[in-house]
């Protein structure tokens, strides 16, 4: 029997532009320009990405364009497409934390997510759901950002475990971020440490509902608030040696 407390799932509202990351540790009365996430030196005046983390000779290899919010089709088609997207969720099979261990039982005969049209996909290019499995160290965040940007939209993020929501037991760790939704947009949170596979599946069910209702537009949110997300990422990832946007 699944207890209600195991299925405590929250629907995440997009963070407003004015939210200040707790890590910033700055006085809110200071001028906004002094906050690191208002630092936009990494892009030029016409919003082209400079890719300054890369060696000079490699910059040409990567695109300097920012992601643009995608246009949706007309309403009836979009509803149909959303139904298809919800019934064909391909999960990126990257274990980004200890919570990823709860994903393995989902593909076994006991839970069998394939009956819901879901399957594991080994490459971010083909996946549509990114499951953040627990605590995110800064080293992992770099890979998460890279993989998330390589996924083709519409893409969805499910954050599993307490650590991805508020840092959990790593809340005062020097190398672990606290809220994953300051770095990539999150659609559904599944709380628990660890949440049972049933809770993770309930999270996916919630995600399906959001997709079918047309509310899971994390891709567009990321494109619209690209500066905010990028500044947050650059604030914690000190050794930024990758393109500013990974096409």
Partner 1 sequence: MSLTLRLVWAFISLGVVTVWGLTLTGIVAKIFARVQGRLGPPVWQPFIDIIKNNAKRTAITHGVMFFLGPVFRIAGGIGTYMFIPVLFGNIYFSNFSMSGDLLLVMYFIFFGQLGMALGAGEGGHPYSAIAVARGLAQMTAFEVPFALSVISIAIQYGSLNIIDIVAAQQGGFLTWTLFTNPLAVIAAMIAMLGMNMHNPFSLVIAPNEIPMGPPTEYQANYLGLLATNRGIFNGAKLVLFMNLFFGGATNIPVLMAKTFGIYMFSVFVGAAFPRFRAEDSIRFFLKYPTLIGIVAVVIWTI
Binding segment toward partner 1, per CB under 8 A, in 79-87, 129-137, 181-189, 237-245:
79-87
DSSP string, the chain: ---GGGG-EEEPPPPPTT---GGG---TTS-GGGSGGG--TTB-TT--B--TTS-GGGGGGS--PPP-PPPP--HHHHHHHHHHHHTS-EEE----SGGGGGTGGGGSTTT-GGGGT-EEESSTTT--EEEEES-EEHHHHHHHHHHHHHSPSS-EEEEESTHHHH-GGGTT-TTEES-GGGTS--SEEE-SSSPPHHHHHHHHHHHHHHHHTT---HHHHHHHTHHHHHHHHHHH--S--S-SS--
Q: Report the site for partner 1 in 213-232 (rule: CB under 8 A).
A: 219
Binding partner 1 (rule: CB under 8 A), the pick from 85, 142, 230, 234 is 85
Q: Is 104 in the site for partner 1 (CB under 8 A)?
A: no
Binding segment toward partner 1, per CB under 8 A, in 41-49, 105-113, 184-192, 200-208:
105-113
Q: Is 114 in the site for partner 1 (CB under 8 A)?
A: yes
Binding partner 1 (rule: CB under 8 A), the pick from 16, 18, 109, 174 is 109
Binding partner 1 (rule: CB under 8 A), the pick from 32, 70, 169, 213 is 70
Q: Report the site for partner 1 in 118-157 (rule: CB under 8 A).
A: 119, 121-123, 125-126, 128, 152-154
Binding segment toward partner 1, per CB under 8 A, in 49-57, 78-86, 172-180, 186-194:
78-86
Q: Is 13 in the site for partner 1 (CB under 8 A)?
A: no
The Cα–Cα gap between 224 and 179 comes to 19
| Minimum CB distance to partner 1, residue 66 (Å) | 13
| Minimum CB distance to partner 1, residue 37 (Å) | 25
Q: How many residues bind partner 1 (CB under 8 A)?
A: 29
Q: Which residues bind partner 1 (CB under 8 A)?
A: 70-73, 80-81, 84-85, 87-88, 93, 108-109, 112, 114-115, 117, 119, 121-123, 125-126, 128, 152-154, 219, 247
């Amino acid at each position: 029997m699944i207890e209600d407390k195991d299925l405590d799932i929250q629907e995440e509202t997009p963070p407003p532009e004015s939210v200040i990351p707790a890590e910033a540790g700055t006085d809110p009365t200071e001028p906004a320009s002094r906050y690191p996430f208002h630092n936009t030196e990494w892009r030029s005046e016409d919003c082209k990405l400079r890719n300054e983390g890369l060696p000079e000779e490699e910059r040409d290899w990567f695109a300097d364009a920012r992601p643009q919010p995608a246009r949706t089709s007309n309403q009836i088609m979009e509803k149909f497409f959303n139904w298809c997207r919800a019934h064909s969720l391909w999960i990126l099979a990257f274990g980004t934390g200890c919570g990823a261990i709860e994903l393995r039982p989902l593909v076994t005969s006991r839970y069998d997510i394939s009956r819901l049209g879901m399957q594991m996909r080994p490459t971010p290019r083909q996946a549509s759901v990114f499951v953040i499995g627990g605590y995110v160290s800064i080293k992992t965040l770099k890979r998460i950002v890279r993989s998330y940007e390589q996924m083709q939209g519409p893409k969805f993020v499910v954050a599993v475990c307490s650590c991805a929501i508020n840092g959990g037991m790593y809340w005062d760790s020097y190398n672990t971020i606290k809220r994953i939704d300051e770095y990539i947009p999150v659609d559904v949170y599944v709380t628990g440490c660890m949440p049972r596979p049933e809770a993770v599946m309930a999270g996916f069910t919630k995600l399906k509902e959001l997709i079918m209702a047309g509310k899971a537009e994390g891709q567009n949110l990321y494109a619209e608030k690209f500066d905010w997300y990028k500044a947050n990422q650059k604030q914690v990832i000190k050794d930024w040696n990758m393109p500013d946007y990974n096409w």
